[in-house]
Amino acid sequence: MFCPNCGTEARATDVFCRRCGRRLPGAAPTAAPPEPPKLPPEPTTTLPEPSKVPPEPPRPQPVNEPIGDDLSKWLAYLAPLLVILGKLLFSSSGRRLLARIFGD
């Protein structure tokens, strides 16, 4: 068998020409793909109404404490340490003591 369009030799089982792609006259028409089976419609379900839960009461906002209270506590602890550190660094006896501890 030969293609009527381009003259290329075709096998008896060919449906289309291998060279030009035309349908060969002796070929049986291809069957359309079968339709997918129809499924029954899905049942519609109604959702129950959400229970009416009362909203949460608003939470109380934290009260900002004055910063002065915390600052005074810190200063009460730091002030003596700063005084001792200053005496060690800026007095002659403090410098001698530091030199003896840490070396010259």
pLDDT of the residue at 69: 67
For residue 84, tell me if it sits in a domain.
Answer: yes
Give pTM, 2 decimals. Answer: 0.28
Total domains, the chain:
1
Q: What residues contact residue 18 under an 8 Å CB cut-off, 6+ apart?
A: 8, 10
For residue 86, tell me if it sits in a domain.
Answer: yes
For residue 96, tell me if it sits in a domain.
Answer: yes
Instruction: Report pLDDT digits (tens) over 45-86.
Output: 777 677 777 788 888 877 766 656 677 788 888 999 988 888
For residue 98, tell me if it sits in a domain.
Answer: yes
pLDDT of the residue at 96: 83
Domain hosting 78: range is 67-102
For residue 77, tell me if it sits in a domain.
Answer: yes
Amino acid at 5: N
Residue 38 has pLDDT above 80, yes or no: yes
Torsion angle (degrees, nearest 10) of CA 78, 79, 85, 88: -160
pLDDT of the residue at 54: 79
For residue 87, tell me if it sits in a domain.
Answer: yes
For residue 10, tell me if it sits in a domain.
Answer: no
Nearest alpha-carbon partner for 23 in 49, 45, 4: 4
